[in-house]
Amino acid sequence: MKGPMSNRDRILEFALDLMNEEGAEAANTTRIAAALGISPGNLYYHFRNREEIVRVLFETLETEFRAVLVEDVGPPITPQRFAGFYLRSFDLAWRYRFFFGGLLGLLRRDDDLAARYRALQDWALVELERIAAQLVKDGNMDRPRGRDGLRSVALNTWLIWMNWIRFLQISGKDAIAPSDMAAGANQLFDVLAPYLDPAFEKSARRALAREAPKRG
């Protein structure tokens, strides 16, 4: 049986919920402390400012995303694992949607966060290219034409994942729901469809259709 949640974890949980609902700007330390019934000094014992809270939340997002790329999409890449990878990555985008929706502003305000984000991006592009190469090696995807074909697949995957939340925001969608993340996964499948083996694509889309409603 778990004991009571620590103040540090309570701060992180409340801040994440607040940022997701109202944006990172809404989560000032005074408001968080008052909502949790703790003194500002207690909050500052754990976090010096809002930027530090955002950094810790990003660390959690980064850890989970690295695990998805390394553990969930290792060889052999079955259609079910392939579909699951996209759904889980978009699940992460949903759980930390404040970060994806306010990315540019967050990075401009915090040089350390910006450096860590760029490091994650560089690593992710290498891993996504590895996944594409493995699909080609397994005979489940044709090698894209062009000098940087596999790199382009990796880059397109990253760009859609990172910008899907902002696309929905700019499109005027007031309330973004978990089901909208499945639409993002489907969009990625549409980008890759010309290269995927038809039988592999069909099986992966079936797996996607089967699992996506559970996230709605």
Residue 215 has pLDDT above 60, yes or no: no
- For residue range 99-110, list pLDDT tens digits in order: 999 999 999 999
> Quick check: pTM over 0.85?
yes
Residues spanned by the domain of 114: 50-215
CATH number at residue 71: 1.10.357.10
User: CATH no. for residue 18?
Assistant: 1.10.10.60
In order of 11, 24, 101, 117, 154, the CA distances from 105 in angstroms are 22, 9, 9, 13, 25
Q: Supply the pLDDT for residue 51.
A: 95
41: pLDDT strictly greater than 90: yes
Asked if residue 174 has pLDDT above 80, the reply is no
- Whether 66 and 102 map to the same domain: the answer is yes
Q: For residues 35 and 24, what is the distance between their CA atoms, to the nearest angstrom?
A: 16
Angle at 214 between CA 213 and CA 216, to 5 degrees: 65
Q: Round the average pLDDT of the chain to a whole number and report it.
A: 91
The CA angle 60-184-177, to the nearest 5 degrees, is: 70
60 and 163 share one domain: yes
Contact between 113 and 49 (Cβ < 8 Å): no
Residue 120: how many other CB atoms lie within 10 Å: 15
Kindly state whether residues 37 and 59 are assigned to the same domain: no
Q: What average pLDDT does range 132-158 have in this prediction?
A: 91
Residues 65 and 37 occupy one common structural domain: no
Q: How many domains does the chain have?
A: 2
Q: What is the mean pLDDT of residues 136-140?
A: 94
Give yes or no: residues 54 and 44 share one domain.
no
Among left, alpha and beta (phi > 0; psi -120 to 50; other), residue 193 is alpha
pLDDT in tens, 10-40: 999 999 999 999 999 888 999 999 999 999 9
Sign of the C-alpha dihedral, residues 17, 23, 29, 35? negative
Element (H, E) at 97: helix 97-101
pLDDT in the model for residue 142: 95
Are 42 and 59 members of one domain?
no
* For residues 75-80, average pLDDT: 88
**Is the pLDDT score of 5 beyond 70?**
yes
pLDDT above 80: residue 152: yes
